[in-house]
Structure 1
Amino acid sequence: MKFLRNLLASVLGFFIALFLLFAFFFAVASIVGAEEQIVVKSNSVLELDLSTPIKDYAPKEDNPIAEALELTEEKLALDKIINAIENAKTDDKIKGISIKTTFVNAGIAQTQAIRKKLKEFKESGKFIYAYNDIYTQKNYYLSSVADSLFLNPVGAIDFRGLSTEILYFKDFEDKYGIKMEVVRHGKYKSAVEPFLENKMSDANREQTTSFLKSIWSEITEDISNSRNISIEELNSIADNSNGRSAEIALKNKLIDASIYEDEYQEKLALGSDEKVNTISIEDYINSGKGRISSTAKNKIAVIYAQGDIIYGEGNEHYIGQGIINKAIKKARKDDNVKAIVLRVNSPGGSALASELIWRELELTKKEKPLVVSMGNLAASGGYYIACNADEIIAEPTTITGSIGVFGAIPNFSQFADNIGINAEQVSTNNSASYSVFEPMNQKFYDVTKEGVEQIYTTFVNRVSAGRNMTFEQVNEIAQGRVWTGKEAIEKGLVDQLGGLEDAIKVAAELAEVENYRVRNYPNYKTDLKDALQMNPFMKASKEEILKETMGDENYQLYNNIHKMKNLKGIQARIPFIFQVK
């Protein structure tokens, strides 16, 4: 009897706990649903702070528990920022825009797209002002579009041109006996160069210099047009650090005045005694202004492929053939979807996953127009999945191309010898096997090289067919070399320059539809189980903790090494990991 009482008490306790758990979930959901609606007040200024990470696609969290407990990642969606600025043009309650951001947490191509939309906003007759204590170079590039640009009297502008730094590990490998065995095709395929050399090759220096100059020419040309400073003067300013103080920056026409923040707030009033309200870009988007309203039945599908390409399902941060192909099929089967835009922002990755996505797009193109819009990166595997589109549109500063393939495998044989470890193998057959504790043998190298060459040939053939070029023409501009969007047009890899809006318009023209609305894919869902696995009392994620502990630059280095360590299979990936400074 005692056993039965204990059993019944346990069962009853379980159901009571379950009931309380569900009651908690419903209470949280109710709180989330009852949040005060954001209202845009009259005489408002839209404040543009882009310090939050900006992604091409950042769907709202559909799990109210994760949302309420603030377990979701902070992010802004590029398309919603663009839509919000577009809506602000005709919103009577918005008098102008204030660019006030500590730094711009976006890529160069994303920044250029936002700047282009701000330039359009100015044409509506409304003002754009910008203020900061210190301008980073990317921030200054964005802010230079303003009618008037202000700087704190003790502030500075970091304007010095573009540079990038690549670390080389060959001497480290020789010293400690830990190295990467590499098989590649393409003289520019320098993703693995740091493991093979102790300095930059001439080919890598050539391509790096080329794309940096191309991006810099876009930046200086845009600033020159907005600030009425010649490109020659801008280069002289960069050479001599003539933004290093507010006084020098004013003398060189980089700013319009040196003032304090309270004085800037007075300027936003435009001489009026009426109170000026400010609304953040996040709140403006959440008020419903992050989308373009339409009741049209016809749809243009925009499928976002962002992140490294991996073999598998994929998620919001990684492109997997699983989720992407489901989205492509869903859009293809929807009779109301008249055309598809594939938005690519990827350095590439798994060659196999890239081929599987390419195949699904090839099937889709036979039924509906397919247009590709390129973001910050559409390189290697990112170009692989783009090359068969009816039209390819890139930003001038997009990094693309990189038609090349490599395989990299860690090897610890020398290190094992140094510390007295000997590995012995037993096998039933004399196959092309590999052990990280033995030097790569010729047989394994030959088989791997054959696979790399086969995938490279397939890659070039895919581009050849998609771009109506001969194999030889593609091979000449391939070899793993990267190009900016501006350079890629000259090489025949891109059809025209423009942003996502331009790509959607082209897709509509190809589908011969005038009235349409945009439908975004894929749908990302967070399971309740995944949300509960996170500590509700710990808002910071593992990545945030590491960033805070290590600092941004050290975390980036750690993250790059971590990614290289986890590469599986033959890779179609951008030829290096770089950070433009």
Structure 2
Amino acid sequence: MNFLRTFLASVLGTLTALVIGGIILFVLIAGIASAVNSEGSSSALIQDNSIFSLKLDLPILDNVPGSQEFQVSLGLDAESVQLIDLVTAIDLAKANDKIKGIHLRSEYVQAGWAQTKTLRDALVTFKESGKFISAYGDYFTQKGYYLASVADSVFVNPNGGVELKGLASEILYFKDFEDEYGFKMEVIRHGKYKSAVEPYLSNTMSEANREQIGSLIASLWETIGSEIAEARNMSVDELDAIATELKANLVENAVKVGLVDQINYKSEYIELLKNKVGISEDDKLKLVDYNDLLAGNAAYKKGVRDKIAVIYAQGPILFGDGSESQIGDQVFVEAIEEAVKSKRVKAIVLRVNSPGGSAMISDIIWNALEDAKKEKPLVVSMGNVAASGGYYIACNADTIFADPMTVTGSIGVFATIPNVKGFTDDIGINAEHVMTHKNAVGYSPFEPISPGFRKSALEGIEHVYETFKQRVADGRNLSLEEVEALAQGRVWTGLQAKENGLVDALGGLDAAIEAAAELAEIEEYNLTSYPKIETDFDDIFALMSPFAAIETKIKSALPREFSAFIEASTSEENQALQIQARIPFSLDIK
């Protein structure tokens, strides 16, 4: 019997090894084939009179998951695209004489406003080279039209239109829900504007929160509106009138008010493109996509030893290892240390796209960056959001770049602790405690927090807040009084942050990289990305699981604030007090 068990175990182990080995072999072969195809699809094979087809139909991320490379190697479609790849492709198209222009499809852009502006700036530079940009859409969302407005001509489907309505931010409030069902979030905070916790304390928006959100979206619209108006040769007042009365919703009206140039079906538009580049009606339009441009791209300079490390800090700041979408201390401290130890890396660029999170982890990462700055130049590039903990880890850089539409600041801290006593009382559950000391229970979800616990937590929050302000004062060469005036949890756009001294300059990742090279006194360099997160088979199989797709759909269907309420209530981190340096509201600007 033992022999049979051993035999079966051996057979099972062998089969498992063969399956895994087969998968690895398949991936290696696919990777080699992909590399061969890349060589064969280099820019040298792009035909004369080609057009770059820039279709923005995937989520645009600062840093794509490592598992995506595996998916693509299997012949599966990519699920996202990296911002720097799109910008590089636009630059390559500008430099390639065989490419005459860009065919832009940007109806539904899945990117933040700062990322969208980075793309628009790249398109403006492309257009300044003398090449054309034509934009076509069945219907343009506001963000999509912001991109399309840079085009020489905008074409829309006869049944389409343009969404131009201004900006709004919607926030859900839970106080009545908490009172009705007995679920409560105990809140301890510091900062006049630290209103991430406001929805748990009230059912209406405070004047302080209304003020900061109003100021924020007005600043964002200032950039959006002025750039669209300039591109379409109209005044900002004229554009505001169009947005106020929704005058462009129908395509005929969009033409009348000057936002659209022509009404065409796509087939008619394609014929117009052919005529523009001198292709006969019988021939096919020669289109290339961003993968064609990147394939065989000699962006990596052979023989150049110097490097600039780009460390992507994307997502919330949490306890744990970290990943491409979460900033954890272990992975990111290791990434910083690796960049410092590498003799080839001459400067570090930290790309921050984070709403913040754990105050403790933020300080641990800040400390690692402070040590790194003593060895090599450190430049920060802020993406869509670099607020609270995201600003904490950025504030000590030699130079900070933000996009005008970056959301930053939010210098303030808070703690939320779930309490379900009202609910458990209603259903007949009672928790009893036996203690050696009066505060021995610490925190229990079944009891209101004690005065002693609240006092201790508030002391911790005050300590973190003072430390946060000191970090900013030291990093930005400001007095504590000046920092206090900018702090209290208030958020700012990148444009406002440049004016008040929280950032040094306005610009994207490319500008930050150039500044890092200048500080390091190097002219030629290659880029290397961190953190280098390896994808294991557990990650791969999890991606293939049908349950993962179901979970994603359920989460996406829930209101963001409700998801946050559920996650906060069930998080292991809330079993003990966790002080948060996080943006003061769930930012949903539309």
TM-score by length of 1: 0.93
Cα distance between partner residues in 2 of 1:17 and 1:307: 35
Letter in 1 for 2:110: N
Partner residue, 1:143? 148
Cα distance between partner residues in 2 of 1:65 and 1:219: 36
**Secondary structure at the counterpart of residue 267 of structure 2:** helix
Partner residue, 1:564? 568
User: Does the CA contact (< 8 Å) of 1:295 and 1:517 recur in 2?
Assistant: no
Letter in 2 for 1:381: G
Partner residue, 2:304? 296
1:368 to 372, 376, 384: 376
Is structure 2 residue 52 aligned with structure 1 residue 46? Answer: yes
Structure 1 residues not aligned, in runs of 5+ = none
Shift of 1:316: 0.7
Partner residue, 2:558? 554
Range with greater deviation from structure 2 (218-227 or 11-20): 11-20
**Secondary structure at the counterpart of residue 155 of structure 1:** coil
Shift of 1:431: 2.4
Equivalences for residues 127-526 of structure 1 within 5 A? 127-269=132-274, 270=276, 272-274=278-280, 275-285=284-294, 287-289=295-297, 291=299, 293=301, 295-431=303-439, 433-526=442-535
Shift of 1:173: 1.1
1:580 to 576, 582, 589: 589
Letter in 1 for 2:37: Q
Is structure 2 residue 27 aligned with structure 1 residue 37? Answer: no
Describe the shift of the 1:152–1:530 C-alpha distance in structure 2 as closer, same or farther (beyond 3 A): closer
Partner residue, 1:57? 63
User: Does the CA contact (< 8 Å) of 2:380 and 2:400 recur in 1?
Assistant: yes
User: Does the CA contact (< 8 Å) of 1:189 and 1:405 recur in 2?
Assistant: yes
Range with greater deviation from structure 2 (496-505 or 22-31): 22-31
Letter in 1 for 2:93: A
Cα distance between partner residues in 1 of 2:277 and 2:22: 54
Describe the shift of the 1:64–1:33 C-alpha distance in structure 2 as closer, same or farther (beyond 3 A): farther
What are the Cα deviations for residues 161-210 of structure 1, in whole angstroms up to 9, with x where unaligned?
Answer: 00011011111111222110000000100000000011000000000000
Cα distance between partner residues in 1 of 2:468 and 2:498: 19
Cα distance between partner residues in 2 of 1:206 and 1:272: 55
Describe the shift of the 1:473–1:30 C-alpha distance in structure 2 as closer, same or farther (beyond 3 A): same
Shift of 1:50: 1.8
What are the Cα deviations for residues 219-258 of structure 1, in whole angstroms up to 9, with x where unaligned?
Answer: 0111111111110000000011011111100000001111
Describe the shift of the 1:170–1:23 C-alpha distance in structure 2 as closer, same or farther (beyond 3 A): closer
Cα distance between partner residues in 2 of 1:231 and 1:139: 19
Cα distance between partner residues in 1 of 2:501 and 2:580: 24
Cα distance between partner residues in 2 of 1:559 and 1:456: 27
Describe the shift of the 1:328–1:3 C-alpha distance in structure 2 as closer, same or farther (beyond 3 A): closer
Range with greater deviation from structure 2 (393-402 or 89-98): 89-98
> In the comparison of the two structures, how many residue pairs are matched?
573
Letter in 2 for 1:22: G
User: Does the CA contact (< 8 Å) of 2:68 and 2:79 recur in 1?
Assistant: no
User: Does the CA contact (< 8 Å) of 2:72 and 2:78 recur in 1?
Assistant: no
Shift of 1:123: 1.4
Describe the shift of the 1:63–1:505 C-alpha distance in structure 2 as closer, same or farther (beyond 3 A): closer
Shift of 1:421: 2.0
Shift of 1:383: 0.3
Describe the shift of the 1:160–1:364 C-alpha distance in structure 2 as closer, same or farther (beyond 3 A): same
Letter in 1 for 2:60: I
Shift of 1:555: 5.9
User: Does the CA contact (< 8 Å) of 2:61 and 2:83 recur in 1?
Assistant: yes
User: Does the CA contact (< 8 Å) of 1:49 and 1:102 recur in 2?
Assistant: no
Shift of 1:521: 1.2
Letter in 2 for 1:308: P
Shift of 1:91: 1.4
Letter in 2 for 1:313: D
Structure 2 residues not aligned, in runs of 5+ = none
User: Does the CA contact (< 8 Å) of 1:311 and 1:353 recur in 2?
Assistant: yes
What are the Cα deviations for residues 342-362 of structure 1, in whole angstroms up to 9, with x where unaligned?
Answer: 110000000010000000111
**Secondary structure at the counterpart of residue 37 of structure 1:** helix
Letter in 2 for 1:115: R
User: Does the CA contact (< 8 Å) of 1:402 and 1:575 recur in 2?
Assistant: yes
User: Does the CA contact (< 8 Å) of 1:489 and 1:496 recur in 2?
Assistant: yes
Range with greater deviation from structure 2 (509-518 or 349-358): 509-518
Cα distance between partner residues in 2 of 1:245 and 1:65: 40
1:68 to 74, 83, 86: 74
Range with greater deviation from structure 2 (354-363 or 561-570): 561-570
**Secondary structure at the counterpart of residue 588 of structure 2:** coil
Letter in 2 for 1:34: A
Cα distance between partner residues in 2 of 1:412 and 1:172: 12
**Secondary structure at the counterpart of residue 154 of structure 1:** coil
Is structure 2 residue 104 aligned with structure 1 residue 99? Answer: yes
Range with greater deviation from structure 2 (139-148 or 414-423): 414-423
User: Does the CA contact (< 8 Å) of 1:83 and 1:289 recur in 2?
Assistant: no
Describe the shift of the 1:276–1:429 C-alpha distance in structure 2 as closer, same or farther (beyond 3 A): same
Cα distance between partner residues in 2 of 1:461 and 1:7: 64
Describe the shift of the 1:173–1:20 C-alpha distance in structure 2 as closer, same or farther (beyond 3 A): closer
Cα distance between partner residues in 2 of 1:76 and 1:65: 13
Shift of 1:574: 0.1
Describe the shift of the 1:4–1:436 C-alpha distance in structure 2 as closer, same or farther (beyond 3 A): closer
Shift of 1:23: 3.3
Shift of 1:293: 4.5
Shift of 1:73: 6.6
User: Does the CA contact (< 8 Å) of 1:58 and 1:76 recur in 2?
Assistant: yes
Letter in 2 for 1:19: L
Describe the shift of the 1:64–1:232 C-alpha distance in structure 2 as closer, same or farther (beyond 3 A): closer
Shift of 1:4: 4.1
Cα distance between partner residues in 2 of 1:141 and 1:557: 27
Describe the shift of the 1:446–1:205 C-alpha distance in structure 2 as closer, same or farther (beyond 3 A): same
**Secondary structure at the counterpart of residue 149 of structure 1:** strand
TM-score by length of 2: 0.92
User: Does the CA contact (< 8 Å) of 1:80 and 1:290 recur in 2?
Assistant: no
